[in-house]
Amino acid sequence: MEKRDLKISGASVSTGGEYKDVRVSGASKITSDIICETMSISGAITVDGSVKAGSCKVSGACKINGNVQADVIKISGGSTIGGSLTGKEISLSGGIKVGKSIKSTNLKLAGEIKVDGDMECEDFRLDGGILSGGVVNCETCELNLATRSEVSELVGAKITVREGNSYTGGLIKTIFGKGKGSLKVHVIEGDDIYLENTTCERVSGERVTLGPGCRIGTVEYSEELSIDPDSTVKEKIER
């Protein structure tokens, strides 16, 4: 049987189910899980369940109380995901809150993100700010920070943390606060590490470069260590 499409607009309420294409706009609500090939959401939408799709595009003040799983996920605006985000290509812009974890092959973010769980991906690029209560584990991690940011642990083969351009998105005045781009983290582990404006208890890598503004407890390195005169390190250990 051929799957039917679902189109909702205006102040409407609909049940979930299995569809081909789903398009939702306006101040609408879906009361249960959605399974579909493509999903497009715009407006003040609430999904009281999870979304599983081939591709999922979200814009506006959208709230999805469950998980979002799709090959391609694009989210813009002030959206909240109550569960986890899982996809091959994930692109986020604006102010995004994720209640659990993020797992992706490629993750790009322009704006601010708050993640309560772990983040796992091959390539991660951030232009903005991040608050994460879990471990950020990526093959390549590039953080261009425009405001004060904080993660529990940062792990990757190549890690770059720089002060980025200023960003004036919505969350910056609320959960992120004001201030220049900086990172506070308990532990950083990688092969090639470059850091700016970073406060960390322990940094461990093969090649470590500390640019300006770093305050580090212990640095462990095996090949190279370079420290900017504007940065401080309490203890240096060559392995």
- The 10s digit of each residue's pLDDT in 57-80 is 999 889 999 999 999 999 998 999
The DSSP call for residue 84 is -
Q: Mention every residue, 6+ apart, whose C-beta is less than 8 A from residue 28.
A: 8, 9, 10, 11, 12, 13, 14, 43, 45, 46
Asked if 169 contacts 185 with a C-beta cutoff of 8 angstroms, the reply is no
Q: Same domain, yes or no, for 93 and 191?
A: yes
Q: Is residue 66 part of a domain?
A: yes
Interatomic CA distance for residues 97 and 207, integer angstroms: 33
* Residue 106 lies in domain: 84-238
pLDDT at residue 168 is higher than 90: no
On whether both 95 and 200 belong to a single domain, the answer is: yes
Lowest mean pLDDT among 8-12, 34-38, 232-236: 8-12
| pLDDT > 70 in the chain, percent | 93
The band of 202, judged by pLDDT with boundaries at 50, 70 and 90, is very high
In a domain, 171, yes or no: yes
Are 20 and 93 in the same domain? no
Of the pLDDT bands very low, low, confident and very high (cuts 50, 70, 90), residue 170 is: very low
Does 147 share its domain with 209?
yes
Q: What is the pLDDT of residues 116-132, one digit of tens each?
A: 999 999 999 999 999 99
Which among 100, 99, 171, 104 has a CA at the least distance from the CA of 141?
A: 104
Q: Are residues 70 and 107 in the same domain?
A: no
The whole-chain average pLDDT of the chain stands at 92
- Asked if residue 65 belongs to a domain, the reply is yes
Residues 68 and 88 grouped into a single domain: no
CA dihedral 236, 181, 106, 52 (to 10 degrees): 120
Residues 61 and 125 in one domain: no
CA distance 128 to 111: 5
46 lies in the same domain as 141: no
- pLDDT value at position 9? 86
> Last residue of a domain, which of 47, 74, 101?
74
**Distance from C-alpha of 173 to C-alpha of 112, rounded to nearest angstrom:** 11
How many domains does the chain fold into? 2
For residue 223, give Cα distances in angstroms to 134, 164, 204. 29, 28, 11
Of the three residues 46, 74, 102, the one that is the final residue of a domain is 74
* Whether residues 172 and 55 fall in one domain: no
Domain boundary among 74, 94, 117: 74
CB-based contact 101:117 (threshold 8 Å): yes
Task: Examine residue 118 and state whether it is found in any structural domain, yes or no.
Answer: yes
Same domain, 135 and 190: yes
Residues 209 and 140 in one domain: yes
What's the predicted TM-score (pTM) here? 0.89
Examine the domain organization and report whether 103 and 48 are in the same domain.
no
* 79 falls within a domain: no
Q: What is the mean pLDDT of residues 136-160?
A: 96
pLDDT at 18 over 90: yes
